[in-house]
Chain A
Amino acid sequence: MAMLNEREETLSREELERLQSERLVWQVKRTYERVECFRKRMDEAGLTPDDIHGIEDLHKLPFSYKKDLRDYYPYGLFAEPLKNIVRVHASSGTTGKRIVVGYTKNDLDLWADCFARMLTAIGATDEDVVQVSYGYGLFTGGLGAHDGATRIGATVIPMSSGNTPLQIQNMIDFGATILCCTPSYALYIGEEIERAGLKDQLKLKAGIFGAEPWTENMRREIEEKLGIKAYDIYGLSEILGPGVGCECEYQEGMHVWEDHFIPEIIDPDTCEVLPKGATGELVFTTITKEGFPAIRYRTRDICSLDYTPCKCGRTHVRMRKPTGRSDDMLIIRGVNVFPSQVEEVLLSIGGGEITPNYFITVDRVDNNDTFDLDVEMSEAFFADDVKSIAAVERTIAEKLRSALGLGVKVHLVNPKSIARSEGKAKRVLDKRKLS
């Protein structure tokens, strides 16, 4: 199949490494000069940009973390002045504050390229009609897919998420050939189409699905219900957004565009770089991004990298689908949720009257994630009527919705009925079967 940037996508390992080395040296130097957090860590490690000669020195560089984005919120990690930043995106942090990333014009360009490479790899052209049903807005999914599809000259239907009947109507009326959304939403749309008996009227041939964990079983189910090929995409806003890792037509792992990102696999406990092919935590360094450069960013995603040649002819390494997290982050309906965010919200209510004891239950019912939260009722909020209890429940649910960007069903339970434990309490039950 065709390639968007054939030269870049087929560089030999040697050429790739030379390019990466050059770009890494450039990125380290400018980030050191412009970003205080990185400079401090380099100084603490006794390193200067002059110590970094190429990718052979990558392992010497200090790591960066999601926490940094909160500590330097909102713009403290940007390497360009705001006048050069043309867009921001935001997602949830580990606590109440969201994290913000910024893009220059060049960054948006390279992002569009990354996504467009995938579209081209799966056979999309300017003849295609791409329905983008990822949420548009601060979430990177919508605009990321939008710009990628625009890059190849496809016709974009900027649907955003929600309003499923209209999604299906437009898919049929506008002749959508490619669908981009979360896999659980794709499955939901597929079920609705099946229920309505409209499969025959679809022109869909492929879908690009990501932003949440999904399984090979889900892939088969989506393919069957929508009559398409379903492709996996990987990304995170701290690195770029969707398009960091993309499946090609052979679907044997996601190509990481190594002319823009250097992936490493480390042992999350010892932080040692693991040998090629090993499973561990994925770490990224962005070597071309200007606005928000990430040096050895700890994704917390657990996966492995495959450096063997791919049948498609692309030389870029392939990452396997992440199998888990090295932290306690949950992905619910495509939204990142940290239990610590829930705790922070509870502590903020009623001057400490609500205890930060909670229990999260996540499940998947009819292909939709459910998010239930047990919270201990407090005597201070109790009166002799049901209204007062409903009000407490509503307050907690509303605060959580605004902090997490996600609806949650709150259940008030008796005080001290949620198990306490020494050290790390078990606060989450994820009943979703993802294998």
Chain B
Amino acid sequence: MIVKQLSAFIENKAGRLAELAETLAANDVDVSALSLADSADYGVARMIVSDPEKAAKVLRESGVICKITSVLAVAMEDTPGGFAKVLHLLKNQSHEIKYMYACISRHEGKALMIVSVENVDAAEALIAGTSAGNVHPGDIYRL
């Protein structure tokens, strides 16, 4: 499933990430997945949130730079080899993974990964018919 990911620029100052979390909380934005990429001087927080547009709006108002991009939510069997199987599928079609991180799953026995690839639509079409494509909004969001 293609989902909207919210990325935010985090400058390297104490408390910036906490401020961001507080802004989201104050506006009733639910965070289902979060990953931080960082260098010595700054970081990028990537999030799957309940309302990306609203989250972007409130963060911008608080002076944070953000961007919404499309990424894939991929399901995998919660058994040994489940992860490898999905990677194998994408690799065979030359989809290079830019980054990935885990997402909570609201259903037992199902593991979810957020995967960023160059061509999201093609990758989505590739996994749509497989078990990896077996993701529904209710798996990620509190509906």
Q: A residues near B, CB below 8 A?
A: 377-379, 382-386, 389-390, 393, 411-417
Contact = CB atoms under 8 A, between A and B. Distances in A.
B93 interface: no
Most chain A CB within 10 A, of B11, B37, B39, B43, is at B11
25 contacts: A377-B9, A377-B11, A379-B67, A382-B7, A383-B69, A384-B46, A384-B67, A384-B116, A386-B37, A386-B39, A386-B42, A389-B39, A389-B42, A393-B41, A412-B9, A412-B11, A414-B9, A414-B11, A414-B16, A414-B63, A414-B64, A414-B65, A415-B65, A417-B11, A417-B63
Nearest to B45: A384
A416 B11 CA distance: 13
Interface string B9-21: 1011100100000
Most chain A CB within 10 A, of B37, B65, B66, is at B65
B63 A412 contact: no
B98 A385 contact: yes
Contacts, number: 58
B12 A389 contact: no
Most chain A CB within 10 A, of B38, B41, B43, is at B41
Given A385-B98, A390-B39, 18 more contacts: A379-B67, A384-B46, A384-B116, A385-B37, A385-B44, A385-B99, A386-B38, A386-B42, A393-B41, A411-B11, A411-B12, A412-B9, A412-B41, A412-B42, A414-B11, A414-B16, A415-B63, A416-B63
A379 B66 CA distance: 7
B43 to A, nearest CB: 7
Contacts of B65: 377-379, 382, 414-415
Interface of B: 5, 7, 9, 11-13, 16, 37-39, 41-44, 46, 63-67, 69, 98-99, 116
- B interface majority secondary structure: strand
B53 to A, nearest CB: 15
A176 B41 CA distance: 43
Contacts of A382: 7, 9, 65-67
A94 B123 CA distance: 53
A383 B70 CA distance: 12
A415 B5 CA distance: 21
Nearest to A388: B44
Contact of A386 (B13, B43, B64, B67): B43
Contact of A384 (B5, B13, B16, B39): B5
Contacts of A389: 9, 39, 42, 44
B30 to A, nearest CB: 20
B11 A384 contact: no
| Nearest 3 Cβ contacts at the A-B interface | A384-B7, A386-B37, A413-B11
Nearest to A411: B41
Nearest to B13: A413
A334 to B, nearest CB: 27
Contacts of B67: 379, 382-384
